[in-house]
Chain A
């Protein structure tokens, strides 16, 4: 089945479809930037790498380099992001002539990216950032489409773990409404993210 996300990817191929590119950019920029930052590149360089990765992605979609039948888009993009991050880190090491940057655990960042065995770690990180980026976008859509009170009830009760009674009192609604609002927001988030699962 062709998912909405696939539609989005196809829409990005159409140079005239600016909206598709904006949506695409918002989701993937968040993901790539967080991924690269967590690998340890400083903010300024993370932004550069993010931009490079997204440009490569955009061009590839336009020119058909990425073939949807051969795998998920984000798996393909992982390869792009990994190569770009590796290049940026090597350049940084060469330039700064400092010792390799290590994590708190003592692992070498370059090893994580370059070593086949360590690739799995990076891939896990990538998948995690994908999920967070999707949820961020889903939350954004929920906030735009659902009333303020419902979002407040959801945040206080479901996110901040306040009791339904306490939240109801603060917002001047019944505890039953708090549960209804929570269910409504969760459903909206799940419905939105479901559309992207095939990607």
Chain B
């Protein structure tokens, strides 16, 4: 009897051991829990950090962390093995600023007798006390940036002069709130509510100085009130001013959107006068600023948006000499804009990137353009990984591939910055996301035939659905978007079209939708005849359905 009891105890303790291990978790009737959080990516080309050489090895991931990386890693039982032969692995990218998935706060109703010369802060676009996380409503939109290799994103609030504080999130699983750090900085812009004070850059500069000084004074008053001295008047706390405290205490920076050189100088001027930590955000112009950027302690975040190469597309034959000369200057300016990142590298000025205002498919293309114009691939990787990690003060646990760091990885089928590279997998927070490698070269012929608005009807088992597809000609290529019924609820959502290809007859494109947290790629192809499109849509493992569309006559000429 005693022996039997001991056996039962032994069994129980073994079971409880198993239960603490995630791989044998409690039952999951919804069936959504993943099979394992233990992954092994074997025999891949691994670049652990910018500047280090790729080596062939294995990465072991457990519990959302990298548990081993090296040439001889023993693969534990139960691990999901991903054969990494011919794959390249890099640290997950960090986006220093995005408003993807962040909704605009509702406009505050103007009071009856609004004095435009002295409007309340929230009407004047000044709400530094609000948190971007309160407006982070569309997580799926943010998560789509994984496709471009991003695993962490600094979210920025929408609004005007001081819209609120920023936060760092990870592009992980929907079961988590994915918040890494709240209040990573105060976002500021040279944007105003037209017609109300402050209405211009002149007013913003003055208002900023005044807010900052008064925040300091309020803090002084508060500490007086908290001291032993009796008879101190109660401080009237202004929450807009209190929001500056972390900045005054140098715990977080002002993240100032400064695209042009003069805006950059204005933000640095305020920094020098008031003494806060500064992040120059979405910078598009750095020429002539090397010295001042080097001298300043400000963090530099470059825009991934590049100017259009209109000048190179223009046919200048038969133009006057004068026009040719001035055209040449535009070409030079364009070249200069593309070579800025490389110039900064040469001047040993560190920078990170932001996707603010950039399309997903342009991220890697634009980095390639920078590389063609003098940026090294090491510096490009640095700007996407270790530098932003250092700026955000999270380099202890992210920004490179090492045992114990967060399992944030970008996995491509060619060196990441090469022209043919396709991001095959992204791992964020230890969750693996796979993307379809639709490698068919998407050439476009006769873009004019397609450009415009199309109305479509699609027959699916769920019934008939209708909507609009809009194509726009960009150079020789096409961009576009489609309105589809929201699979997660009422209304329609708009999705960007990808891989658009048209050979004069056959049109194909794809887009993605999120259904219950899972990303589905919808491939569309068919024939175009005149203004009619007859084709099909297919979703992997789900079937193929018909889609017919008709081009609407243009209302403009």
Check if A and B associate.
Answer: no
Give residues in A with beta carbon < 8 Å to B. Answer: none
